[in-house]
Structure 1
């Protein structure tokens, strides 16, 4: 369910074919109409019918390109998305700050802002979010382009269809109707989603997942997350928690996880767990991840061993995903990549050992992304809701 606001422009062609065609051009364009038909698996007539209102409304632009020629040898017309036709806002909310971006329709960041949070009470966070949205709407007015949607990404158990944050451990939110509250505060259509799933949408449409029917995005940092794309669709599962590899057990006698179980991947390989373990092993009161990494890089054997164990656990966790779903690619991202050199070898070795048969041929890529890119993922979910009626 997308919380909407009266008076905001809607997408001019809410049909499955139009959404599919627009998404195809958005991710792969510029394309000729024939290429659109082939990629979307639709007839040329269906493409022509769907494209017409989108061109009339200014969302698609058709232009002649000499280098693109039809089967008859004549220059072919290329269809592309006019990224400047509309703007969207994305917010990534962490436990201590909000990262906000203003993007165009092609999810290119035009403006980025950050604001520290002095509390996690929803009223305080929503007030800060409202001020940031108002600021970015002012930027949009300067560009003379309307803002047509707001996406908000938070960690934890998020029900996008209901617009509710069931539980966010870092924000300590339970059962919060965030989409409705944010729509009332900001006056825009609002889409909320789990932050990793939102980032997965951005990667599927605009990043390393473009053109892949099946891939996984594993994020490493304050927590361990996993976004899944299966047969071209981002998977949330029947209960909205598909991909929670952070709570796959890798050591049943391991440390206690905040979820109440022992030996979860997150309790071994997430940044807070690593810092706590480095303190315990070395007896040195490292203050944060930066100090733990520095200690390991200076050759402290105990600190380095902690990172090695984290890498081994992460490699096994990734292998579990690959064995179950068989993705073409696994993308590793998140702020935890800052220490990846300390455990990359263990990740590779554990993955290769635990991956079954040909599953070991799965590509494993690292992709460092800033928090602004996570906010961009939130904007991508707003764009997705805007053009896909089946998600509203």
Structure 2
């Protein structure tokens, strides 16, 4: 995995950078297609077999990959092939999610299987020492006695990937300026990496989810907050030191509601669960503090007064942010995560209809919406991919 900023320095890629990119492409292909021979990988990537061998051999030598038993190359005959795959008993990957409401951890095989997962709630108003104890407790439960290549953290808020710290987390300000990679790395004794939550989620989509094989797409988180992870021309897009991705704080109404960030009219003020529940209460829907997209869709399906109108407005308001991105970078495909997924086909159709209406006309080519995963699973897989790619950049 290679991350890029808004601009590139002129000149050619270094051999090391080319090596990292090529390794990433091969590993992604293995994750997508399963055990594959050198010839199969060479055909899929349109390179010669010698190039594939030069990429695979260091991964075999360090125990990341193993060769399987020989199989016939084809029904017509030919030299037997030896498929390569991830070593099942080799080093594992750590993944963590730091959110305002919970700490989640997972230990993964290099093949992307989640072998152990743990979650503990946190009180956003608790002292930092208490929250850090929870972070460490989840980490030890998941990673003790494991040999890890590294740990990848998906963190809410604004992140500095160079320093490995959370710059600010509005829903849990006690974590502002928390040096996550330094503290957790010292506790565990392994390399730790951090990135913005939706960007790590996009990595999960790219390696393991609906984004596999797509050149460009947007991975969108919905719920208590809003965020984007962008993949453009097969690369994760990120600004200097991990900046960007805070789509929830793009201003959509200069005369709108105040946002916790201090601005007026941010996208989050019209399309999060906080807004949805306030609207549900204002419109007299039952149990408004428990409303989410799934419950609202159920009420709309039952023709409950006001539910269909609010569902329509929720889709419309979400589409505003998606369409703004479509105007700027034309991601084309929007992989939705979190709350909105519980709305199923009805919500997907409404969201796509408004997205198309707000997006530019490109000769009949219209953006699409995919309901990807309502859980944190893809983010945890993305944390593993973050650790895997960072580890290869440093050890190979």
Q: Is the Cα contact below 8 Å between 1:304 and 1:342 reproduced in 2? A: no
Structure 1 residue 99 displacement after superposition: 1.6
Structure 1 residue 71 displacement after superposition: 8.9
Residue 380 of structure 2: which of 367, 372, 375 is its match? 375
Q: Is the Cα contact below 8 Å between 1:70 and 1:76 reproduced in 2? A: no
Q: Aligned partners of 2:128, 2:44: CA distance in 1, in Å? A: 43
Structure 1 residue 230 displacement after superposition: 0.8
Worse-matched range after superposition: 277-286 or 56-65: 277-286
Deviations 1:358-390 (A, max 9, x none): 375333211123224433332332222112349
Q: Residue 209 of structure 1 corresponds to which residue in structure 2?
A: 211
Q: Aligned partners of 1:341, 1:18: CA distance in 2, in Å? A: 37
Structure 1 residue 316 displacement after superposition: 2.7
- The residue correspondences of 1:152-301 to structure 2 (distance < 5 A) are 152-172=153-173, 173-238=175-240, 240-282=242-284, 286-290=288-292, 293=296, 299-301=303-305
Residue 100 of structure 2: which of 92, 95, 100 is its match? 95
Residue 122 of structure 1: which of 128, 134, 137 is its match? 128
Name the CA shift for 1:325/1:118 in 2 (closer, same or farther; >3 Å).
closer
Aligned partner of residue 301 in structure 1, secondary structure = coil
- Unmatched segments (≥5 aa) in structure 1: 1-12
Q: Aligned partners of 2:90, 2:231: CA distance in 1, in Å? A: 28
Structure 1 residue 268 displacement after superposition: 0.8
Q: Residue 349 of structure 1 corresponds to which residue in structure 2?
A: 353
Q: Aligned partners of 2:308, 2:257: CA distance in 1, in Å? A: 18
Deviations 1:41-96 (A, max 9, x none): 65432322232232122211223564643997333232222244121221212222
Q: Which has the higher strand share?
A: 1
Deviations 1:149-201 (A, max 9, x none): 12222211112232111111222132222111111222221111111111111
Aligned partner of residue 282 in structure 1, secondary structure = coil
Q: Aligned partners of 2:351, 2:215: CA distance in 1, in Å? A: 24
Aligned partner of residue 263 in structure 1, secondary structure = coil
Q: Residue 384 of structure 1 corresponds to which residue in structure 2?
A: 389
Residue 80 of structure 2: which of 59, 68, 75 is its match? 75
Q: TM-score, normalised by structure 2?
A: 0.83
Q: Aligned partners of 2:254, 2:295: CA distance in 1, in Å? A: 25
Question: RMSD of the TM alignment (CA)?
Answer: 3.0
Name the CA shift for 1:345/1:93 in 2 (closer, same or farther; >3 Å).
same
Q: Aligned partners of 1:261, 1:70: CA distance in 2, in Å? A: 65
> Does 2:110 correspond to 1:105?
yes
Worse-matched range after superposition: 169-178 or 106-115: 169-178
Aligned partner of residue 374 in structure 2, secondary structure = coil
Moved over 6 A (4+): none
Aligned partner of residue 251 in structure 1, secondary structure = coil
> Does 2:321 correspond to 1:317?
yes
Q: Aligned partners of 1:377, 1:75: CA distance in 2, in Å? A: 35
Q: Aligned partners of 1:344, 1:20: CA distance in 2, in Å? A: 31
Q: Is the Cα contact below 8 Å between 2:97 and 2:380 reproduced in 1? A: yes
Q: Aligned partners of 2:217, 2:330: CA distance in 1, in Å? A: 8
Name the CA shift for 1:253/1:284 in 2 (closer, same or farther; >3 Å).
farther
Q: Aligned partners of 2:249, 2:201: CA distance in 1, in Å? A: 19
Deviations 1:276-322 (A, max 9, x none): 22223438773233597376665443454333212112123222222
Q: Is the Cα contact below 8 Å between 1:126 and 1:185 reproduced in 2? A: no
Q: Residue 148 of structure 1 corresponds to which residue in structure 2?
A: 149
Structure 1 residue 103 displacement after superposition: 0.9
